Chain A
């Protein structure tokens, strides 16, 4: 068993809305080992991005704990958090809005080094920026261009370089490729993978696209309406999904091939609102197999095989 770098315990994040409490993240638990990737999958509104932000304390948790290398980060003060931010970073989805349009490429990459006073000598800092640009495959001649002059793939590389500028060990990747063209998507995915191997990084990879995490993750966790409904090693989740939602999600992905057609499971309805949810299985109103028990009580997340957790009443029967 290798070392656990991040552990999330009973994490909750509620937002106040005029219509009631929105349960964005509702009592989830998981942990990640050093150097591994956890894929966090779900559709819009399932709370996956909120989870990523609460882990980095860009949002404050309502309840629950996040342990990073044994330290409960929710109890850290501003200075302590500032120290930790050198190791925990984030890569954003939108390569257009996540870079300050008034800063040049080198200024953006330099900022974290300057702010955290990692390197104080401007010349050395400049060297480090060039080094980072090389690392993520950005041509050095782009250093004085502005982000809006570049395409999405290059902009995302800037975002990655910024995340790596500190002594980064752990990165939350929030849909880092979903805004990019397929051919560029593959370039960025390969880059992230290579960086993980070179630098021993640990990733939480948030995405709505299961085919992307398939290549990438060691473990996959599926979220639905703020709940973690299934978690398993990637291999197992793809070959042996248990939760009806995971099954539907897997079958719904359009496959670019004409042979071996997968039977599509078309779900009824759409995601319901996570505001003041009732005490039932949150998937029950869309589930094709829902029984009375699903509408009556919430299924707990249980380990059904070693390493494979699922929250579904039906599996037990």
Chain B
């Protein structure tokens, strides 16, 4: 009888007591003002990306040329002014957010899944496999990221999809290295051996024990890489290899606006600021996460 009531009591406890480690990280992250500023900015961008259709009409304001209203300075109708084709710069930045964040996230996901997989098996199995994988990636790493991306886009042709592939592939070696290092630091822990002793196979050990315990550096690296991917996308678009006009993209806006920089500097200033804030906020979050995820700072 008393035994049964204890079982019920413990079942209740499951719901109340299970304080996840995510909550711990969040508690520590909240203490960093810079990370919170970064988080605020990025939430604003995300909001713009999700609700873009309600903020500005894509066809009407961001795409359609309107020569009558070209090169207007910021005003109440056009908060950020209009560009050389009379398009509303604010609307284009809002829609550009979608492209930048989406391409940034997807390309990092590509790099994370392929690089992460290669890094995990290289780190876990070690030996010759490790050598083979890492040496091939070292060759890739020797080529500057942006140059590699340019080469890939040049070979595949300029499109949003190819842009994602290019930025993603060029980030693979970096992710492989980070994941490999994280796996190496975990794989010799005794709980891995304990898992083997209870009959777990390699797949279970890697997915249930090794990877969850190496997440911290990977999350930090991924956050920082989204930022640098946004830079990469803008750079490629700036030199004409990325998103093609008239699709609104921050780097592309900079490129087309730079002819007017002397007289109408707001045309390049606002997309420039958008890039700066997006990259800065992600870097601030990344640094904050690095501290929050470090259990030694508890």
A and B touch in the complex (CB under 8 A): yes
List chain A positions with a Cβ less than 8 A from chain B.
53, 56, 58, 82, 85-86, 89-90, 92-94, 97-102, 104, 111-112, 115-116, 127, 130, 140-141, 143-146, 148, 159, 162, 165-166
| In-complex Cβ contact of A94 among B14, B190, B198, B213 (8 A) | B190
For chain B, give the interface size range.
20 to 34
Q: Give the chain B neighbours of A144 by CB distance below 8 A.
A: 13-14, 17-18
Q: Give the chain A neighbours of B10 by CB distance below 8 A.
A: 130, 140-141, 143
Q: Give the chain B neighbours of A141 by CB distance below 8 A.
A: 9-10, 13, 17
Q: Known contacts A104-B18, A130-B7; is A90 also within 8 Å of B194 by CB?
A: yes
**A97–B10 CA distance with the chains assembled, in angstroms:** 27
Question: In the bound complex, do residue A111 and residue B6 qualify as a contact, i.e. CB atoms below 8 Å apart?
Answer: no
**A44–B241 CA distance with the chains assembled, in angstroms:** 62
List chain B positions with a Cβ less than 8 A from chain A.
6-7, 9-10, 13-14, 17-18, 21, 189-191, 193-200, 204, 209, 212-213, 295
Q: Give the chain A neighbours of B195 by CB distance below 8 A.
A: 100, 111
Q: Give the chain A neighbours of B295 by CB distance below 8 A.
A: 101, 148
Closest residue on chain A to residue B211 by CB atoms: A102
Question: In the bound complex, do residue B193 and residue A115 qualify as a contact, i.e. CB atoms below 8 Å apart?
Answer: no
**A317–B83 CA distance with the chains assembled, in angstroms:** 104
Query: What is the minimal beta-carbon distance from B208 to any residue of chain A, in angstroms?
Result: 8
| In-complex Cβ contact of A111 among B13, B198, B213 (8 A) | B198
Q: Known contacts A86-B199, A89-B198, A100-B213; is A143 also within 8 Å of B13 by CB?
A: yes
Query: What is the minimal beta-carbon distance from A24 to any residue of chain B, in angstroms?
Result: 16
Question: In the bound complex, do residue A112 and residue B14 qualify as a contact, i.e. CB atoms below 8 Å apart?
Answer: no
Q: Give the chain A neighbours of B13 by CB distance below 8 A.
A: 141, 143-144
- Nearest 6 A/B pairs, CB to CB: A112-B198, A98-B190, A85-B199, A100-B191, A97-B190, A144-B18
Secondary structure type dominating chain A contacts: loop
Query: What is the minimal beta-carbon distance from B217 to any residue of chain A, in angstroms?
Result: 15
**A127–B194 CA distance with the chains assembled, in angstroms:** 23
Q: Give the chain B neighbours of A165 by CB distance below 8 A.
A: 198
**A254–B209 CA distance with the chains assembled, in angstroms:** 41
Query: What is the minimal beta-carbon distance from B293 to any residue of chain A, in angstroms?
Result: 12
**A67–B212 CA distance with the chains assembled, in angstroms:** 36
Closest residue on chain A to residue B191 by CB atoms: A100
**A104–B7 CA distance with the chains assembled, in angstroms:** 17
Closest residue on chain A to residue B24 by CB atoms: A146
Closest residue on chain B to residue A96 by CB atoms: B190
Q: Known contacts A85-B199, A115-B199, A140-B6; is A102 also within 8 Å of B21 by CB?
A: yes
Closest residue on chain B to residue A174 by CB atoms: B190
Question: In the bound complex, do residue A143 and residue B198 qualify as a contact, i.e. CB atoms below 8 Å apart?
Answer: no
26 A-B pairs in the complex with CB atoms less than 8 angstroms apart? A58-B193, A58-B196, A86-B199, A90-B197, A92-B190, A92-B193, A97-B190, A98-B189, A98-B193, A100-B209, A101-B213, A102-B21, A111-B200, A112-B198, A116-B198, A130-B7, A141-B13, A143-B14, A144-B13, A144-B14, A144-B18, A145-B17, A159-B194, A162-B194, A162-B198, A166-B198
Q: Give the chain B neighbours of A99 by CB distance below 8 A.
A: 191, 194
Question: In the bound complex, do residue A112 and residue B199 qualify as a contact, i.e. CB atoms below 8 Å apart?
Answer: yes
Closest residue on chain B to residue A101 by CB atoms: B213
**A165–B194 CA distance with the chains assembled, in angstroms:** 13
**A143–B15 CA distance with the chains assembled, in angstroms:** 12
| In-complex Cβ contact of A98 among B14, B21, B191, B199 (8 A) | B191
Q: Give the chain A neighbours of B21 by CB distance below 8 A.
A: 102, 146
Q: Give the chain A neighbours of B190 by CB distance below 8 A.
A: 92-94, 97-98
Q: Give the chain B neighbours of A146 by CB distance below 8 A.
A: 21
Q: Known contacts A94-B190, A115-B204, A144-B18; is A85 also within 8 Å of B209 by CB?
A: no
Q: Give the chain B neighbours of A148 by CB distance below 8 A.
A: 295
**A90–B9 CA distance with the chains assembled, in angstroms:** 32
Closest residue on chain A to residue B188 by CB atoms: A97
**A115–B195 CA distance with the chains assembled, in angstroms:** 10
Closest residue on chain A to residue B212 by CB atoms: A102
Q: Known contacts A144-B13, A144-B14; is A97 also within 8 Å of B6 by CB?
A: no
Q: Give the chain A neighbours of B197 by CB distance below 8 A.
A: 56, 58, 85, 89-90
